[in-house]
Amino acid sequence: MKKVCILGMGYIGLPTACMLANSGYEVIGVDVDNDIINKLNNGKPHIEEPDLEDIFLKAIDAGKLKISGNIEKSDIYIITVPTPLNKNNKADLSYVISASEMIKDYVNVGNLVILESTSPPGTTRNLVGNIISKRTGLVAGKDFYLAFCPERVLPGKIIFELVNNKRVVGGINEKSSELAKEVYSSFVKADIYTTTLETSEFVKLAENTYRDVNIALANEFSEICNEYNINVWEMIKFANMHPRVNILNPGPGVGGHCIAIDPWFILENINKKDTLIEKCRKINNSRPFIISERMFDIIKDIKNPKVTIFGITYKENVGDIRESPALVIINELNKKGTDVFVYDPIAINYKGKIYDIDEALAGSDLLLLFVGHDKFKEINLNKVASLMRNKNIFDTRNFFDKKLLKDFGFNYFGI
Ligand code: SAJ
């Protein structure tokens, strides 16, 4: 039985470790965070994700998955650590470097090393590969095998998509690609395609950049439609009836740890200036400021206004608030000394206060809907209307039924 060591027990590492452990591998999941290790060793995943707890407990109970702070000698090493963006819009590869440093003393002839963390093209070869080769004297592709295997899973559907999404894996040579493919074939039901290291690194970035550019176009359409007095949502709905058109939705900005970050990685080491990709990033980054200006316009004549924000996560129905555009708006409101009351029944790790719905709405002058969690569908609009001082609703997601809101006496504002 082959042994796999996975570094980084986060959103990707932990589910992947469980999958491999339940598919016949002996897996050791390593993390540098003692809180995460303790939680996992107490039988509780630290991530909320459908079905994760079940597959985690199955792997632990079968004795196939072990969680630890230390590396163990293995046949396969998989790096799934974060690659955040630094202040200069460059990839912070410090976690990839330290993970490579951690395994470099263990990698032996015939082993396979896989990088799964989203990274700028060239990272697997020039960073991971070089750190190991320099230390061990082993040549990548000859003495040990090296591959990049990006994931494509959607938060909220991670377990389902890990099994059912097609994958593209890139090796430093054909043998590396084939060995990496074999690892993922143990639990992936969809096709797995092989290519070069740098192509697979770029494919991952291109996917998220495509989405970012598409959303930027939708956001630009929304600005232009405002000038023409056209409802952008209706316009997009009709345009998407064309068999080859699929415009995404405008909104209050693009958040999360993927789409708002990955396009910058493409631009990191290139000479080309003035790219479409950068312009689109800027359009999407400007959204919370545009929404905030409109919001101040709605409440400009109200003395000491109280604003209620519904939903502060980076998107609907997830608890993650990383890079959420809502945090930008809250900051803008705080800067202007406006009272902000947040209501979000599923957000986790928010440093500010989250109120219950009645407290958040009592005497409010504006309800700003930032993300449309399914839970908000159960809200009693009659009660909302009775609690608010001024019945203004600014719906940035086209979530509410505009006509219904008007029937309840609300002033409706959309994008
Ligand atoms: N958003 C819009 N309009 C839309 C769609 C999304 O404004 O029409 C906003 C969302 O509100 C959110 C952000 O964009 O703030 C990103 O949301 P998302 O659902 O598009 O993407 P993520 O970040 O949750 O997951 C993406 C996925 N990539 C693609 O769909 C190409 C996922 O498959 C990737 O695995 C993930 O990034 C990742 O880890 O890279």
Nearest ligand 1 atom, CA 212:
14
CATH class of 198-415: alpha beta
Q: Whose C-alpha lies nearest to ligand 1, atom 32?
A: 154
Q: Whose C-alpha lies nearest to ligand 1, atom 21?
A: 259
Calculate the CA 267 to chain-centre distance. 19
Catalytic annotation present for 204:
yes
Nearest ligand 1 atom, CA 210:
31
Whole-model pTM: value is 0.94
Query: Ligand 1 centre and the CA of 259: distance in Å?
Result: 6
Catalytic residue among 64, 204, 315, 391: 204
Pocket test of ligand 1: the residue of 165, 212, 315, 370 to mutate, having most ligand atoms within 8 Å of its CB, is: 315
Nearest in space to 367 (alpha carbons), one of 403, 406, 394 = 394
What's the per-residue H, E or C state across the chain? CCEEEEECCCCCHHHHHHHHHCCCCEEEEECCCHHHHHHHHCCCCCCCCCCHHHHHHHHHHCCCEEEECCCCCCCEEEECCCCCECCCCCECCHHHHHHHHHHCCCCCCCCEEEECCCCCCCHHHHHHHHHHHHHHCCCECCCEEEEECCCCCCCCCHHHHHHHCCEEEEECCHHHHHHHHHHHHCCCCCCEEEEEHHHHHHHHHHHHHHHHHHHHHHHHHHHHHHHHCCCHHHHHHHHCCCCCCCCCCCCCCCCCCCCCCHHHHHHCCCCCCCCHHHHHHHHHHHHHHHHHHHHHHHCCCCCCCEEEEECCCCCCCCCCCCCCHHHHHHHHHHHCCCEEEEECCCCCCCCCCECCHHHHHCCCCEEEECCCCHHHHHCCHHHHHHHCCCCEEEECCCCCCHHHHHHCCCEEEEC
Nearest ligand 1 atom, CA 204:
40
pLDDT of residue 48: 85
Name all residues whose Cβ lies below 6 A of ligand 1. Answer: 151-155, 207-208, 211, 215, 248-249, 251, 254-256, 258-259, 314-315
Nearest ligand 1 atom, CA 155:
24
Pocket test of ligand 1: the residue of 221, 259, 321 to mutate, having most ligand atoms within 8 Å of its CB, is: 259
Query: Ligand 1 centre and the CA of 74: distance in Å?
Result: 34
Query: Ligand 1 centre and the CA of 284: distance in Å?
Result: 13
Query: Ligand 1 centre and the CA of 180: distance in Å?
Result: 26
CATH class of 3-190: alpha beta
Nearest ligand 1 atom, CA 215:
3
- Same fold? 3-190, 198-415: yes
Catalytic annotation present for 306:
no
Give the type of residue at 218: A
Q: Whose C-alpha lies nearest to ligand 1, atom 34?
A: 152
Q: Where are the domains of the chain?
A: 3-190, 198-415
Residue-level pLDDT, tens digit, the chain, 415 residues: 899 999 999 999 999 999 999 999 999 999 999 999 999 999 999 988 999 999 999 999 999 999 999 999 999 999 999 999 999 999 999 999 999 999 999 999 999 999 999 999 999 999 999 999 999 999 999 999 999 999 999 988 999 999 999 999 999 999 999 999 999 999 999 999 999 999 999 999 999 999 999 999 999 999 999 999 999 999 999 999 999 999 999 999 999 989 999 999 999 999 999 999 999 999 999 999 999 999 999 999 999 999 999 999 999 999 999 889 999 999 999 998 898 999 999 999 899 999 999 999 999 999 999 999 999 999 999 999 999 999 999 999 999 999 999 999 999 999 8
Query: Ligand 1 centre and the CA of 155: distance in Å?
Result: 9
Query: Ligand 1 centre and the CA of 319: distance in Å?
Result: 14
The conformational region for residue 43 under phi > 0 = left, psi -120 to 50 = alpha, else beta, is left
pLDDT of residue 1: 81
